[in-house]
Structure 1
């Protein structure tokens, strides 16, 4: 099980703790240290579309209008922390740590 996110994200920390407590063996893939591959970006965008980009993040607010108009793939390549977190690859691929993601992964 791979948890894509950043180690300082509170939501990622909650997901890792819950998954570990449930007997899973989550591995954190810090997207700052090991950015997503082109294949992963394509897969995540195909799975989640516009929801993958966190438009309420500090990173998003710091972008210029021209940067915000770039394709999602380019945004994620240039600014990995724009990705909504976590993306969890377990029995299924989930985004975030809401009730639906918890049910799917736990």
Structure 2
């Protein structure tokens, strides 16, 4: 079973979930706002796909952070603290495809089609 993590009102998460539904791909959804960020999963994501892929530096949450906080995100440990304090900083959706493909961030219809042989 595919696990997708994000915020339900995020446009990218909406597109990703719609794509999965349209292609009949079963998944479970974890809502960061209601259920929080699962720390054990976050620790795995920081390793792969890596902290750089997880931190959404293009979003409004990143831009609203003060400069000192932004400049302090320099490695996995500092990214972990920032992501736990500000779940909206996580690039969404985070998708755990299982052992074969692992974890990805963001939505890419072509890549998802290749993973799911659609």
Bigger drift between 54-63 and 32-41 goes to 32-41
- TM-score between the two structures when normalised by the length of structure 1: 0.89
- Structure 2: which 5+ runs fail to align? none
- 1:3 pairs with 2:4: yes
Instruction: Tell me which residue corresponds to 2:105.
Output: 95
Distance 1:96 1:4 in 2: 10
Instruction: Give the root-mean-square deviation of aligned CA atoms.
Output: 1.5
Please give the residue correspondences for 1:56-95 in structure 2 after superposition, counting only pairs within 5 Å. Answer: 56-68=58-70, 69-70=72-73, 71-91=78-98, 92=101, 93-95=103-105
Q: Which structure is larger by alpha-carbon Rg, 1 or 2? A: 2
The number of residues matched between the two structures is 106
Bigger helix fraction:
2
Task: Structure 1: give runs of 5+ residues left out of the alignment.
Answer: none
CA distance in 2, matches of 1:47, 1:74: 17
Q: Is the 8 A contact 1:57 1:82 kept in 2?
A: yes
